[in-house]
Chains A and B, each alone.
Chain A
Amino acid sequence: MKDMHGIIFAYLTHPKLKELAEHRTAASLPFGGRYRCIDFMLSNMVNAGINDVGVVMRDSYQSLLDHLGSGKDWDLARKRGGLRLLPPFGYAGPRRSVEFRGRMEALYGVASYISRIRQDYVVLADGENVANLSLEDVLESHIQSGAEITCVCTPAREGAVSDEAFYRLDDTGRIVDITVGLKDGYESMNVFLLSKPLLEHLLNYCAARSLYHFNRDVLQAMKEKLRLSAYIYNGYCARLISVTNYFQHSMDLLKPEVRRDLFPRGRSIRTKVRDEAPTYYSPDSRARNSVVADGCYIEGVVENSILFRGVRIGKGAVVQNCILMQDAAVKDGARISHVIADKQVTVSENHILVGHSTYPIAISKGAEV
């Protein structure tokens, strides 16, 4: 199963992520105590035996570069292939600093990279999907169905994103209609598998006609001409597009079935190693129903929360229903609930901060409260 090449789109940002996306794209959003969103898709690729992965980025990619480095933490620091970071060339024209208008435009910017792909199949995937998806199963289904493009989708979730694409299928699993915003059928995960020659052909076709949108100009426009098949993924899948939905999906990790889905044995999610010490719980600490990464130092009370690496909770501090990112500190006696504290946030002694599950408070990176 080494016949696939991975391309991850890591340039998308979502305005509703507000403070959380100030310094980063959705793909490099911290999630689940020690990960960035992109770790999931990157690990899915590595777990499927994919050795060559290109990551397409556009703006605010410093955090992503810092996280991915040479790719060694995913075993992708290779001489032949491995991880390739694909930032934009310095555009001199008027289109500078404008987001890609669509995935085809993003791919067109790396056309020469695509022409050198040595595998027969290419997986195109959004970097902000949090799911443990077996891409080798997707390839098998692609080959068996005889599809030209296989689109991975999931049964529409509660509160599904309204601007997402939905697929209507016939009895054979062929996609017969693609709609946006209607919540009709299966929700797209924006993971596509197709052959390299077809991808190159589609790129040339679109470039020649100033078409740049994968959903509209390829899937919708060619659904009769091309055989589009669906691969239905039934496991846990999160797409993080707003502060509230980030909060809710993070809290999902407190459910054992969600952790089993995302972190099954043998299909590990890899991330950048930080060499933290084990987490220390002091004699006076009280912790329950929480997910805690390494390197934390806990002297207070923690309930129903997600703690990233290196978080410090002082004596008498109470943390309930919170998400505290890397190196955040809650000082002695502070009480916080329904707060998302970004990296290196400090909540000072005896301060009180209370949000609500439908409107959690997000605090920007490095802020002192």
Chain B
Amino acid sequence: MKKLLFGMFCLLAAEMAQAGVAIEHWTTPSGARVYFVASRSLPMLDVQIDFSAGNAYAAVDGGRLAGLAELTNELLDAGAAGLDEEQIAARLGDVGARLSSFVDADRASVSLRSMSAKTELDAALDLLRAILATPTFPAAALEREKARSIASIQEAETRPEQIVARRFAEAIYPGHPYGVQATAESVGRIGREDLRAFWRAHYGARRAVLTIVGDVSRAEAEIIAARLSDALPDAPPDAPLPAVTLPARQTIRVAHPATQAHIDIGLPFIRRGDKDFFPLLVGNYVLGGGGFVSRLMNEVREKRGLAYGVYSHFSPRKLEGPFQIGLQTKRSQAAEALGVVSATLAKFLEQGPTTSELKAAKQNLIDGQALSLDSNAKLLRTVALIGFYHLPLNYLDDFPRRVAGVTAAQVREAFARHVDPEHLVTVVLAGD
């Protein structure tokens, strides 16, 4: 066992980047949208399938069954096509494939990494098809995973960073699916029929986006995409989520014995595809997205030594995703740190970036674009986002020009439009 200690806060990657990526796009006969990038220098293939089946889609009835989206996704490989979960895991292992999954607010995602040699790849893709199209959701596996999920939630309710994250989401999205959190009670209510119904209603081809990156031809990719999507349940297409309303300005304090206070500040921000995206991307780099060189890092860490890491970040979603500033500091310094962050934000909102800050931000985002796309894994992540959120196919080619065109006035105006201090929510845990 080796202990690595990352000495500094990891830089948050720029949203996406570089020209010269040829994305091919088509729709399968069953209605799934496909995005394909051939990358033939390594004998491997990555496939990711994203469904409009994220947490927001399971957060109905005030969150009565919150946690359903994640449980459904997790249990896809608990049994399918006459195989039990051990047989599925063993077969994947036998061909050297890796299956992974995640659920966020909008998406439920399953991805497969396999060697591209035909025998291994065919076997791995057959398994992927089986778990997407014929999951059995065995009762015993469900009970076990519910118990694990409840234990995780109870543990999360003791962890400072997770408590803050949950309180923050609830507070910035009052009454909205984006704010609903799974609880021991909501997970306890979930039954096998709920999983089957959620899968049937949300894992359909017309709600699916397939991203394929790696060592296959276009013709092979078409066959793969058709095979993966043609047996999915006949779910209705995506329907809009309820509108987001802005929260009232508020500060929430949470008691906790931690040595550090955890602070989150933010509000609902923009949708993916918003016309203000590029000014906000450039501006946020200056404010707190640019790692060691951001204003927040300079004020909070470099000048005052108040925190190890401080950042601002935004994640556009189908609807207005969150903008968020976060940091941890010794609990007796919470008020001081909060003051520094508030003053830094207020000054930025008022004045926007300086000429040299604007230039530095553009340089990093444009010249660093290649770094966001220099592996199949990074390509997969980026192209999957482009596909799922209907961004233009020339998004990556256009990226340098769009960044270069941003002006300081546009940054200031865009931030003014989307960060109204009257709607800012602050959560402080363990602040003295």
A and B found bound together: no
